[in-house]
Structure 1
């Protein structure tokens, strides 16, 4: 069942924990990125999370376990390089800034709501914010990182990394901080694209990847103009 239609360009859908709604990014080229909400049953137009008239970019939505709030990254319209992580209560509309989250993006709330994992701008580090202790720590750093994700049991933070010239799926246990190389993606076909390196996890912990088998070719076109 199709839920969205042009001109909406939907990326990174996230289920409300009770399965009734979906939050996603609308990444049209003609306006700032927006987060929209839509019923999983269809039959309605997606509703924006931003206040009317806002030119700020909203992205990377993730639900709180109770479904009452969404955690996301917000980029100021005046400076697109300025990122920070916020939480918005859907009942009250109140925005809450996550402390010291400037220059962070790709927030992912753990299923139990205890932690937020997030990437630093430039993908040089994966950070962990403990909502109970109200402090940040480092999970991984030093290599290009992208697309962080949580295991359903809250034990692992996953991410995609580039080292040794190829992509790798990595994870780190939260309790003892042990790092594991889960999967070498050297022979896995993927496009060089902002969203094609997406990763996910099935309910049983199986890894989900976006496999692209399309063909990319380079063409040259010689133009000849007739004289008049």
Structure 2
């Protein structure tokens, strides 16, 4: 299992008992998310240096220095693996996260040639996720109100669902996409059928009580497709300032 702590550092440990715990990234790097490679030996991460832009990196699960995938002044986000681990799909983050400039398209990076290609028809989309079987790429519209699905073989996009959506995650059999409907009543995690777009709530985050919780992050699925949720804790203090004293 891999996760980020409150200081946005990336850790990994054995999911069964928490043993073999290792901090994978240095204190100078802020990590937003991480996705395991199909063989479980590497992670693709979205991270940035202090005051830098978001970039995509690959890091060995055993530890080591993160390898940047691109050398750009633009934000790059949401790296995900192809089924064979030879390519990375990624997007550009919404303006609200980093004042992104330029077009917002989904792109694919070939790790062997370091060449990128733009997924046709992907303008205005972000947060791509490649299905484990390689057949589909899911993505969100920039307003996070539609879940889109790309048929890799047919080169065709279609709208799979219309609801507030964040953090799409594929089921292991590639038949469903799980999303966090963060603006819907009860803030459910929805299971979306790839064939017909039908949605089934599988978790209700509004009842997931935690002292001081300000929001929740849907971080992925367990091997049995149980949602894993990370709680963001916030505290507040009140102060007075005497303007007559210096």
| TM-score normalised according to structure 2 size | 0.81
Is residue 2:49 matched to residue 1:25? Answer: no
3-state DSSP of counterpart to 2:84: coil
In the other structure, the counterpart of 2:214 is: 191
In the other structure, the counterpart of 2:155 is: 134
Is residue 2:164 matched to residue 1:144? Answer: yes
CA–CA separation in structure 2 for the residues paired with 1:149 and 1:82: 24
Return the structure number with greater relative CO, CA threshold 8 A, min gap 6: 1
Q: 1:57 aligns with which of 65, 75, 83?
A: 75
CA–CA separation in structure 1 for the residues paired with 2:150 and 2:50: 31
Q: CA deviation at 1:185?
A: 1.5
After superposition, give the CA deviation of every residue in 1:103-137 in whole Å (9 maximum; x if it has no partner).
11110000001001101001111100111111111
3-state DSSP of counterpart to 1:84: coil
Which moved further from structure 2: 179-188 or 163-172? 163-172
In the other structure, the counterpart of 2:190 is: 170
Gaps of 5+ in 2: 1-21
Q: 1:123 aligns with which of 135, 140, 144?
A: 144
CA–CA separation in structure 2 for the residues paired with 1:91 and 1:164: 42
CA–CA separation in structure 2 for the residues paired with 1:144 and 1:136: 19
In the other structure, the counterpart of 2:90 is: 72
Query: What RMSD in Å do the two structures reach over aligned CA positions?
Result: 2.2
| TM-score normalised according to structure 1 size | 0.88
CA–CA separation in structure 1 for the residues paired with 2:240 and 2:79: 42
3-state DSSP of counterpart to 1:65: coil
Gaps of 5+ in 1: none
In the other structure, the counterpart of 2:243 is: 224
After superposition, give the CA deviation of every residue in 1:160-217 in whole Å (9 maximum; x if it has no partner).
114554311111111233221222221224434xxx42331111111111134x3422
3-state DSSP of counterpart to 1:186: helix
Assess, with a 3 A threshold, how the Cα gap between structure 1 residues 226 and 79 changes in structure 2: closer, same or farther.
Answer: closer
